[in-house]
Amino acid sequence: MKKLLHFARKVDRINDRIGRFLMWLCLFMVVIASFNALMRYTSRFTGIDLTSNALMELQWYAFSAVFLLGAGYGLRHRAHVQVDVLFNRFSERTQAWIYIVGTVAFLIPFCIFMTILSIPTIANSWSVLEMSPDPGGLPRFPIKTLLPISFLLLLLQGVSFLIENIARLRGEYHLREEEPAVEKTI
């Protein structure tokens, strides 16, 4: 189990690094969006249009990268939506079982399915070096490549999550200090 927990910690570190990068990408996305909005209104008065389809698509690509690559980071920090009305009242052991069943029955098969399903589309996009249909747009094949990568990262984080919850059931793992324990309501 120690080797599996070591693997889980490596996966956690990978998704944490990606998460830190995505925080900067969010800032970049806000700067690009602000620039586009400012230039769109400035062009009304100056007659000089400084916005472009490439900048608009760059903003869209940054958002897509944050959304796709952030899924594993979100799972790592338990930031995904879950119904806490009853869940917080369960014991830590029951919560671990719920996480295990959900991960094995839903998360892992979904990630595998989406990865397999996306590969032919990405291969086709790369074979034709797909471009945006908009004038001055960006290539589409690089951003489409993030789809299977994101599901593979989410799959790895799901396996890490599974390992941690199995270890919790065995009494070999407790919530890390940097992760606040969920408060129980009475």
Nearest of 176, 159, 145, 166 to residue 15 by alpha carbon: 159
Does residue 178 surpass a pLDDT of 60? no
| Residues 73, 77: Cα–Cα separation, whole Å | 6
Backbone angle region of 136, left / alpha / beta, with phi > 0 → left and psi within -120 to 50 → alpha: left
Q: Residue 185, SS3?
A: coil
- Domain annotation covers residue 184: no
Does residue 177 surpass a pLDDT of 60? no
Does residue 61 surpass a pLDDT of 80? yes
- Domain annotation covers residue 151: yes
Q: What is the pLDDT of residues 65-96, one digit of tens each?
A: 999 999 999 999 988 777 777 888 888 899 89
Half-sphere exposure of 3 (CA within 13 A, CB side): 0
What pLDDT, on a 0 to 100 scale, did the predictor assign at position 186? Answer: 40
What pLDDT, on a 0 to 100 scale, did the predictor assign at position 57? Answer: 93
Domain extent at residue 114? 2-169
Asked if 41 and 30 count as a contact pair (C-beta separation under 8 A), the reply is no
- Domain annotation covers residue 51: yes
- Domain annotation covers residue 79: yes
Q: Residue 139, SS3?
A: strand
Query: By percentage, how much of the chain surpasses pLDDT 90?
Result: 67
What pLDDT, on a 0 to 100 scale, did the predictor assign at position 78? Answer: 84
Q: What is the pLDDT of residues 37-60, one digit of tens each?
A: 898 888 888 888 778 889 999 999
Count the domains in the chain.
Answer: 1
How many angstroms from the chain centroid is the CA of residue 144? 14
What pLDDT, on a 0 to 100 scale, did the predictor assign at position 183? Answer: 43
> Tokens 């490549």, residue?
145
| Residues 31, 90: Cα–Cα separation, whole Å | 43
| Residues 82, 92: Cα–Cα separation, whole Å | 16
What pLDDT, on a 0 to 100 scale, did the predictor assign at position 181? Answer: 42
Q: What is the pLDDT of residues 11-45, one digit of tens each?
A: 999 999 999 999 999 999 999 999 988 988 888 88
* H runs (alpha helix) in 47-138: 53-76, 84-87, 92-102, 108-127
- Domain annotation covers residue 178: no
| Residues 65, 145: Cα–Cα separation, whole Å | 10
